Structure formats: C-alpha cells, structure tokens
Structure 1
Amino acid sequence: MKFAARLASLARSRRRHQSARPSRERFPSPGHSSESGDMTHHPHFARASLPRRLLRLAGIGALAWSAAALAGTGNGDLSDSNISYVGRWDKSNGATFRSYWNGSYLSTKFTGTTVKVKLAAPTRFKAIIDGVASDYWDASGTINLTPTALANGTHTLKIVAKYEYTELPFQGLVLDAGAATVKPDALPLVEFIGDSITSGVVTSDMVFTDYAWLTGERLGADHTQISYPGISLVDPTWEKPNVPTGMESLYFKLQQATHCSDVACTGNPAWDFANYAAKLVVVNLGSNDVSKSVPGATFQSRYTTFLQNIRAKYPNADIFALRTFNGFYQAETQAAVNARASAGDAKVHYIDTSGWIDAGDLPDSLHPNDAGHVKITYRLLPILLPYLGVVTRNDTSFSYDNTANWLSGAQNGAYLNDNHWSSVTNASYQLPFAGTQVKLYGGQAPAHGIAAVSVDGGAETFVDAYSATRKDDVLLWTSPVLSAGTHTLKVRNTGARNANATGNFVVGDRVDVIDGGLNLLSNAGFENGLGGWNTGANGGTVSTATTRPNSGASHLVHSGTAPYWAYSAQTLTGLSSGQYTVKAWVRGTAGHQLYVKNFGGSPVSVTSVASDGYTQLTISNINVTSGSAEIGFWTSVGSGTGWLHVDDVTFYKQ
C-alpha cells in the first residue's frame, strides 16, 4: 500500500479509537487540525502525531497493520455505516440484509487492491468496480470480485440486483488487511415507478439498459426502480400469474410481486418510507391496464389517488407522471395530474412523451429496445435536472495532484466529519462538474493559508482561509454563473498566508454544484477504459493509460511509432434539435482533430496544437437537426511518433 494511502487508513482507524476522548482541543485528531487550530496544522504535525515506527517504515514502503484496528465503521460488515443501501432492503435479520425489487444496490468505496462479497444464498447480480461491470450467475458464499488485483488506492463499488425476481442476501465485504471502506458521496435519490418497460424487458442487459437506470446514472443521483413486468396501476379483481395485484397497492410494500399470493399481498410487509426520501419520483404506468380493459374513468380516479398517496409518503418530492410511450390513457393521466394541482399540489408534473420514440424502437410494438431507452433518457434528463437543485461532492471525489501531498482524516464539524489537507506549495486538487455554478466549502483556522481557485484553467481567485478561531464547513468561494455544461474546478495551495496565520494549510472538504448543463457522453473521462467508445486504428494503437490524466485516474491515448491513423468516437441518438457544444482536454503533438459529424449539417472540427500540458478544445453552436451526432477524435500521422492524450470530454445542449 502506498504511504499516503496507509496514512489515510491510519487516520480513519485512529479516529474510531479516539471517539471516547473528551475534548478535541486537548486531543486533536491525527487527520486534521484541532479546534484551537494550532497543533495539527503545524508543519511538523505528521512527525509529532504519527507513530515513529510508521515513519521509519514509510521510507521502505512496509507496514505491519493489525486487522483488529478495523472494528466497526470501515470494516465492510453489516454494521459498517460506510455502506449505502439504495432501494428497498430488509435489515431485520442481523446476519443477512436482503434487497427487494430489481435495480436495488449497495454502494461504497474501499481501499486496497481486492474485495470479496459474502452472500447467504445463490443469486444473480452485477458488481461494478471503478465503473467496470461484471455479471455473476447463481453465485453464493464468499465471492472474489477482483480475480485480477486492482491498483492500490481507493475504488468505487456497486453490487446490484439485476432482475425483478433476484434478491441480494448480503452478509458483508471482505477487504485486504489494513484496508477500509470509505463513505460514498451523499447523492439525491430519484425513484422510478413502472412496469416491464421501466424494468428493461427486451433490452440487452435488463435493468442496466433501461431508461430508469441510464437516467439515474447520468443525473449523478442514487436511483430506485419500483417496477415489475405485467403490473397495472389498478388492482385487478382477478388473478394474473405472478402479478396478482396492481401498483396502487404493491408500491407501498417491502417486497416485489413474487411475494404476493393475492391482491392484498398477505405476508408482504409494508415498506417503511422513513428509510429514505426520494427527491424526484417518476411514474410510468398504464400499459397493462389497457390489456385488462380498465375503464378510463376508473384509471383516472385511481391515478389521482395514487399520486395523492405518493405525496403523503414524500411530502417534498417533485412527482412526474409520464404519458405512456404508446399513448395509453394520455388524457386520463394528464387529468389526474391536473386534479392534484387543483387540490394545491404544485410539485406534481405531467410529461408529454409524444414523439420521443418511434415504431423502429419497439421490436414487439410495446417495449423499447436499447436505442429507444437511450432516446427516452436524453429527453428525460433535461426535464429532471433542474429539479435536483444542488448536488454535493465531498473530498473523496476530488482528484489530487499527488496523494502524498494530501493527508486525510477526521475533523468534527467538517462535511461528513472528515476532509483532506495540505501545506505543500502548489499542491492542488480538481473536480470536473456539470452545472452553471459551483460553491467551495472548507475550514478556516489559525494555521490556514491562501488558496488559488480557478475554473476551466481561467484566472485564479485568491481565497484566504485564515481565522483566529476554528470554523468548518464554511462557504469560502462562489463562482460566477457559468455557461451550461461541464467545467473543472481547481484549488491550489499558493504557499502564501495571512500575516496573522501560523501555517499555510489548504483544505479539501466539499463542493456544491448548482444545476445546469448535462454531459450527454458516457465514460467521458475514460475511467471505464474504452467502454462506450468505438475505436479503430491502422499502424497505431488506441488505449487508455493512467500516466497523466487531466482528472480522475485514466485518459485516452492514440499512439504509434510509424505512420498510422486512429480514431475514437461515440454516437449519440435521441437528441432534441438545438445548439450543442463539445469540449475536450487534450495534450500531445500537433494536428489531431476533435470532430462532430452526422448531426444534420456539415462536419465540424478543431485541430490540436503541440502541448505537453492539457489544453481545452471547444466546438460550439453545433446545430443538431437529425436527432443524432457522432463525437470523436481523429489522428493521422504521416511520419514520426505523433501521440494524443484525451480526457474529460463533454457534449451538452447550450
């Protein structure tokens, strides 16, 4: 394990053992400054606070660490508060937590190089580590999710129930010795309610290729799918195999329809809505009510009541009722929304989906295929995004210039009670974000210095974080209103300090992103290898590397040692007509092209200049009229060893 990662692990462990100490002023955490602001921001803090043996061993990269230090939070067991359970989970059994409904998942981050999951019974699931997904079929016991060890560092993990009938009987994670879980970002939650369409029936990968999952992921939100194939809104008065009840009753239950033997769902417990609060709720129901000949007046009445009952569970959520994609009960759905609005509910909305997909997207005349779900996603994203409001990113999301420059650990009063800090001149961190404004929060203290803050490589603003008394989670800087789209925030330690300051520490704690433009490209930072990108080469290679990313851990590479050509491209469909912008950060030899074509107009491109550092290429005012666009990078080298590195590509509607 790298020294900085070991320091972070030590800080987390010491924080747990110091929780009984009576005063942080007398006993500052090893992770950050005391409330007095004097001790841990002293330049010699690390040597004064860390065990001498750790400092001796750091020079040779060795460390003996006791597994006993990983008790409680951070150890991966069911009591670990760093594991987030998204969806409907039954935690009543202390030995096994069980998920219900497709698309439920657990989420965390972890340090080290390997991770295993313990499951009480065979099940089918998908594990997503650092954005790379793997399927597991009828797996049980202790399952190694990393047969090939990862690079040492902090990784992301999701374990997801893939089908409507699969459940996750989770019993914990197994980590490397000395490793620990890390709390994932706190994200807003979007809940999708529907039938087989929302469950992804007929798509290539079920839940992972349906519009609900795609939309939730692109919004940067947590998301749930309370959906089941064949289900209607209205409770039937007859039984249909596997679907004996309607969503107007089943939605309020813990378990999916496979646990219902009758309309009353006897034995299926009520769901406790106190477990989480959705910020947005998207309802797509009615396609199966048609097949059951539910009268329009009945459907409208029950839909109105259903919306009212959802409101009772989520008093503050915005609720969206979609017109079914085939137009079933369109008038009745809109009338139900109008009835709720007339009753004073200003946060219920009707979404007209007319024209979002066509017959070619419906292989069986009812269920959208993969392309259809992508089209739905791109139509839904800009509608939902403004209602998410502020999205908060904490310090574990930042990309640090060098982990050795930035220590991390506990700090009472900071966001999530921890942060990163550095006293190294020119040490920096970055955060790509999609929005129209960003707000930087952090600590002020006697030993804090002056940071330089910039957006998209622009002019720096100097922020003095000195304060005579300790303050945390303070608003330090707010950007001007930015153009819609994806930007990059950079915070740099200038090494300078206020005349009254006793140190020059700069802190990374949290950033609030205000809603705005949304990046429509997938895997835009190449953190998932070349996933989502079409590539080709003749005489050269297209790959990804971790040597010098602009942000994150990876970037795209075009390279060759003789004449060659290469391309990497992504085609988007389902785009609404209008003006778009594409941006990309690149470095390399001169003459490479960022291009956009097949959007309804003549191809457009911009050519790179020779640069060892990253520069941003931009093409604006791309008038999309065809509903699609291809965004790509083209390299053609006639001689020599021309090369191109690409990172943080964005494509968004202006």
Structure 2
Amino acid sequence: MKVYGVVAAFWLSLASATILQNGQVRPNDYPSTAISAISSYNSSWHTYSPGSPELSYKGRWDHKYISWWSAPGLKFGFQADQVAISFGKYTSDGVLVAYRLGGQDWMLTNVTANSTHLFVTPSTTGYNLTTPTNVTQTLELRVTNWAYGVQIQCVHISGGAAKLVKIPDYTRTMELIGDSLSAGQYATLEGISSYSWGLLYGLGNVEFSITAYPGICLHEGRCYSNLHGQTAQWLKIPDTSGRALDIYGSDLADIPNWDFAAHPAADITVINIGTNDNNTANNVTATGYYNSYIQLINEIHTRWPQSQIIVISLWSGFSQVGNTWQQGAGFLDEIQNVVKYFNNGSLNGRGECSSCFVYYFNTTGILEHSDIGPLYHPTDVGHVKLASHLMQYIKLTFGWILEQTGPEVQHDTLYWNDEADY
C-alpha cells in the first residue's frame, strides 16, 4: 500500500477538531462534562486516589497513571449517585473520550489537563434502570485517540452508599500489535472505530490492549516520525508519540519497560504490521523485515509461552488494473515464510498445524477498493468487515464463543434507510 506520504504530517491532523464523514463536516459539539472544583461543587464527595485497588486500567498505563497507545481505558464499579474524574497535567488538551454507564451506548466528551468532569448523575441514561444506592453499577471510560492520552488524578463519588467496587477482570486476554491501520487513524472516531476495537471489544468478555501507532515499522529504527520499531517499542510502556518523547526522551534505555509479569498473558496475540516497512521511504529490506518478524514473535513467545499468535497478511491497498481493481500484497512471501518458520516448514490452507502456535490470516477478498478511504486507510465499514472476519476466524480456529450480547461496540455506525420511495 503506497499510503504513507501523508503519515509524516499526521501531527498536523491532530490539531483539527473537524470530523469529515463522506466529505461532509460531522457535528462534534459533544456535551461538556467539566465542572468546577469538587469542593465547591458538592461538599459530600469521597475521593479515591488513582492507585485505588477498585480501579481497573485497560491497555497500557505508566506509574503516573498516564495512558498510552490506542483506546486505553478505565473501568470500575460504584454505588453512588454521582461520579466525577479529575485529570492530571499530562492529559492532552481537548482529548476526546468515550464513556458509558453499564451497557448503555457510548457518550463522548472532551477533557483536558487539570480539569474535573462529571460523568454520572441521576439523570444519566440508564441510571434509574437499577437501584443505585445498593446495586453496583459500572462506569467505563476510553480514550478515542492513538496519540493523545489522559492522566487520572483521582476519582470522586457522592450520594448513596458512596463507595467504589472492584469489577473482576475477564478471564480471556488478547493483544493486538500494529501500526496506523490497527490504531484507527482516519477512522471516524479513531481508536474506537478501528477493526482492532471491533474485534477485541466485540468478542465480549475479553481484556485487551491495542499496542498500535501510526507510521511505526516492525523493523527497529526510525520510521517516519517514529524513532523505534515495534520489535523494540512493544516491550515498552509508552508509544512513540511526541508526548512520550516529552516525558521520557528518545533514548530507548530511558523509556520504561512494560512489566509483563505483572499482567495476565495474552491468550491470543494478533499482529498486523509491515505496511510502513514495505514503503521504500523507510529502507527496510525484505530480509530485514523477515528477521524482525521472527524476532517479535520470539519476544512474544518468551513472555507468553502459551499465547496463540495470528499473523495478518498485508492488504497493501488497491490499484486499478484495466477496468477493475486489484488488491496489493506487501511482503507476501516473507510473512508466509515467517509462519512456516514457526510451523516447521508446513502451512496448510488455513495457515496452521496441530502442534504450532502461529497462524496465518489471509485478508484477500475481505476488503474491496471502496472499503479504503481517500487517505488510504479503511473506512468505518472496512474496519467492521475486517473485524467480523477475524471474529469468525477466532471462533472457528480456537473455539471461542462470541459473548458480546447487546452493548454498543462501534459508536455512530447506526446507518439505515427508511425511505421507501426514492
């Protein structure tokens, strides 16, 4: 996919608050949840520190409770009438977050550094569907962007029993490693519109992390504005963003490692990376890419010996051939040879063998050229299609039951036609 002439300038796109949907400006005047200081707003608040055991952080967060990578989140139970969250100085200016009460649809609001936001009141949709004072309800918050983030300073509750409740983690865990295609760049709501999100959240009852960032290569070294590739960066807590450079600097030795031992191992790891390596601008050879892929899988298997690994083929965009369109296939042989390397040279039609742990997922035929947007990334529909196929692949290959039974996964994708005469 000859896609990333635009990626080097992706920092500029972050400064705009305009969302274009099919070329039309989409309203994004989300309701403000900001309130004044807690002490002046309500004197009966109970405040919990960011390290309180009742708080469950999703994805990768550092010791300062700063979020990283794509679609990180915070989830906790509560028995109270009101819930507010204060955000610290390392929160990105105006970052868009999605939040919801229980299984209600996602709501959106912009937050910023050194601010407090009120997320739950008795008027919140779904609040009165339970008895709030003695029934534990759940609040979940997700950062929508892949380069912005939040810092949790504290959580406040008031009314009712006024206590937080630890929500047990799910028993299934997944990891997805990738670049902009997986991070959700140019999708309508970015991280929470990506196929990664649709797959991992859509499976239901799965803890997951999306360690994906635009412009990043698999091969170690500078790739567009990214100073390191995933063979090195995946082992670290933060991504390769400008804010990560501001906090931790550019020296790999100074960037904190992710503590794999302190977190559950991924039952399934999905890898979709190589489009940036495949661009001549980054000077990654086929041999270098192949060796880096083997290195990454070995890094994963060393830390998670039981993890089943799915390697996704690169669709590499579409080009016009005669009077039709044809899908590209970057590093096709190299990716298949990586799978064969771990499968003792064998690779059946489904990219698997009975004793192996690396599987090949072929994207051919899933997306069409109309599923790719003007900036060379999948449309929202393209993301949904890819996620749906991956969900079925996981169900058939590993016997996982699809457990999501109702809560909205990908927000603002409810499109329909109810006009009969046109």
Give the TM-score normalised by structure 2.
Answer: 0.71
What's the CA shift string for 1:415-461, capped at 9, x where partnerless? xxxxxxxxxxxxxxxxxxxxxxxxxxxxxxxxxxxxxxxxxxxxxxx
Does the alignment pair 1:257 with 2:240? Answer: yes
**Residue 353 (structure 1) shift:** 1.0
Partner of 1:170: 152
Instruction: Give the whole-Å Cα distance in 1 for the aligned partners of 2:79 and 2:419.
Output: 36
Instruction: Give the whole-Å Cα distance in 1 for the aligned partners of 2:284 and 2:77.
Output: 47
Which deviates further from its counterpart, 241-250 or 75-84? 75-84
Instruction: Give the whole-Å Cα distance in 1 for the aligned partners of 2:303 and 2:162.
Output: 39
Partner of 2:193: 209
Contact 2:179/2:216, CA 8 A, preserved across alignment:
yes
Alpha carbons of 1:358 and 1:529: their partners in 2 closer, same or farther (altered >3 Å)?
closer
By relative contact order (CA 8 Å, sep 6+), the higher-ranking structure is 2
What's the CA shift string for 1:503-526, capped at 9, x where partnerless? xxxxxxxxxxxx43666x8648xx
Does the alignment pair 1:196 with 2:81? Answer: no
Instruction: Give the whole-Å Cα distance in 1 for the aligned partners of 2:80 and 2:162.
Output: 5
Partner of 2:32: none
In the alignment, residue 516 of structure 1 is paired with which amino acid?
A: I
In the alignment, residue 257 of structure 1 is paired with which amino acid?
A: T
What's the CA shift string for 1:195-247, capped at 9, x where partnerless? 010011111100010001111111111221101100111123xx455311111
**Residue 137 (structure 1) shift:** 3.7
Which residue, 63, 82, 88 being the options, matches 1:120? 88
**Residue 79 (structure 1) shift:** 4.0
Partner of 2:269: 281
**Residue 341 (structure 1) shift:** 2.2
Which residue, 333, 339, 342 being the options, matches 1:340? 342
Instruction: Give the whole-Å Cα distance in 1 for the aligned partners of 2:236 and 2:388.
Output: 31
Instruction: Give the whole-Å Cα distance in 2 for the aligned partners of 1:196 and 1:530.
Output: 21
Where structure 1 has 5 or more consecutive residues not aligned to the other structure, the ranges are 1-66, 390-514, 539-654
Does the alignment pair 1:516 with 2:401? Answer: yes
Partner of 1:146: 120
Identity %: 21
What's the CA shift string for 1:291-317, capped at 9, x where partnerless? 124221221121112111111111111
Contact 2:186/2:375, CA 8 A, preserved across alignment:
no
Question: Is the partner of 2:252 in helix, strand or coil?
Answer: coil
Instruction: Give the whole-Å Cα distance in 2 for the aligned partners of 1:532 and 1:267.
Output: 45
Larger CA Rg, structure 1 vs 2: 1
Contact 1:308/1:340, CA 8 A, preserved across alignment:
no
Does the alignment pair 1:83 with 2:55? Answer: yes
Instruction: Give the whole-Å Cα distance in 2 for the aligned partners of 1:294 and 1:301.
Output: 11
Contact 1:127/1:134, CA 8 A, preserved across alignment:
yes
Partner of 1:329: 331
Instruction: Give the whole-Å Cα distance in 2 for the aligned partners of 1:518 and 1:90.
Output: 30
What's the CA shift string for 1:13-55, capped at 9, x where partnerless? xxxxxxxxxxxxxxxxxxxxxxxxxxxxxxxxxxxxxxxxxxx
In the alignment, residue 383 of structure 1 is paired with which amino acid?
A: Y
Which residue, 292, 295, 299 being the options, matches 2:289? 299
Partner of 2:67: 99
Alpha carbons of 1:201 and 1:208: their partners in 2 closer, same or farther (altered >3 Å)?
same
Alpha carbons of 1:387 and 1:120: their partners in 2 closer, same or farther (altered >3 Å)?
farther
In the alignment, residue 100 of structure 1 is paired with which amino acid?
A: W
Alpha carbons of 1:85 and 1:530: their partners in 2 closer, same or farther (altered >3 Å)?
closer
Instruction: Give the whole-Å Cα distance in 1 for the aligned partners of 2:192 and 2:314.
Output: 20
Does the alignment pair 1:351 with 2:333? Answer: no
Across the aligned residues of Structure 1 and Structure 2, the Cα RMSD in angstroms comes to 3.2
Partner of 2:34: none
What's the CA shift string for 1:309-346, capped at 9, x where partnerless? 11111111111110012221121111112112229972
Contact 2:174/2:200, CA 8 A, preserved across alignment:
yes
Partner of 1:380: 390
Where structure 2 has 5 or more consecutive residues not aligned to the other structure, the ranges are 1-43, 317-328, 346-352
Alpha carbons of 1:535 and 1:295: their partners in 2 closer, same or farther (altered >3 Å)?
closer
Contact 2:87/2:112, CA 8 A, preserved across alignment:
no
**Residue 537 (structure 1) shift:** 10
Partner of 1:26: none
Alpha carbons of 1:262 and 1:111: their partners in 2 closer, same or farther (altered >3 Å)?
closer
**Residue 89 (structure 1) shift:** 1.5
Partner of 1:180: 163
Which residue, 214, 226, 231 being the options, matches 1:229? 214
Partner of 1:503: none
Contact 2:192/2:410, CA 8 A, preserved across alignment:
no
What's the CA shift string for 1:259-299, capped at 9, x where partnerless? 35988524211111113221211100110001124221221
Alpha carbons of 1:163 and 1:288: their partners in 2 closer, same or farther (altered >3 Å)?
same
Give the TM-score normalised by structure 1.
Answer: 0.47
Structure having the larger proportion of residues in helix: 2
Contact 1:318/1:348, CA 8 A, preserved across alignment:
yes
What pairs with 1:488-637 in structure 2 (closer than 5 Å)? Answer: 515-516=400-401, 523=407, 532=414, 534=416
Instruction: Give the whole-Å Cα distance in 1 for the aligned partners of 2:183 and 2:417.
Output: 31
Structure having the larger proportion of residues in strand: 1
